[in-house]
Amino acid sequence: MLFEVIARARPPADSPDPTAHEEPMADTDSRQPLAKLLDIEIVEAGKARVRGRLKVRPEVCTSGSILHGGAIMAFADTLGATGAFLNLPEGAGTTTIESKTNFISGAPAGTTVHAESVPLHIGRRSSVWQTRITKEDGKLVAVVTQTQMVLT
């Protein structure tokens, strides 16, 4: 899990939906260096949903050429933390304080996994996010539930 504080960011003021980005978020690189290292692409980010994808490269696999569990957890944590920080009050930060992963199936090298993270709870002091990671054919790889603390 990534125990990092995520800097504040807002969608452009002229965005038709100020709660969502509909294109890859290039500025994520500077806020989440592990996401850059893993080549995680956030394709949509809003207060109610964050979607992303990850290419399963040999560097993020086990010796059996299957996506490593730690990479799965980091992928989910990146998306959940992104959603959490988009829901923060001005001037606040966030950090992961709990994460639970159910591994369902493997994702082989050479494929791409997709994920969608949605809030189960958004409160003043914490938020809880559930991320479903799937293969290209829609089959479930893992379900991750994480709690994000609000830092003020």
Q: What is the pLDDT of residues 79-110, one digit of tens each?
A: 999 999 999 999 999 999 999 999 999 999 99
What is the fold of 20-151?
Thiol Ester Dehydrase; Chain A (3.10.129)
Q: How confident is the model at residue 22 (pLDDT cuts 50, 70, 90)?
A: very low
Q: What percentage of the chain has pLDDT greater than the value 90?
A: 79
Number of Cβ within a 10 Å radius of residue 48: 12
- Could you give the angle at the alpha carbon of 58 between the alpha carbons of 56 and 98, nearest 5°? 60
Q: pTM value? A: 0.83
pLDDT score recorded for residue 28: 53
Q: What is the pLDDT of residues 120-133, one digit of tens each?
A: 999 999 999 999 99
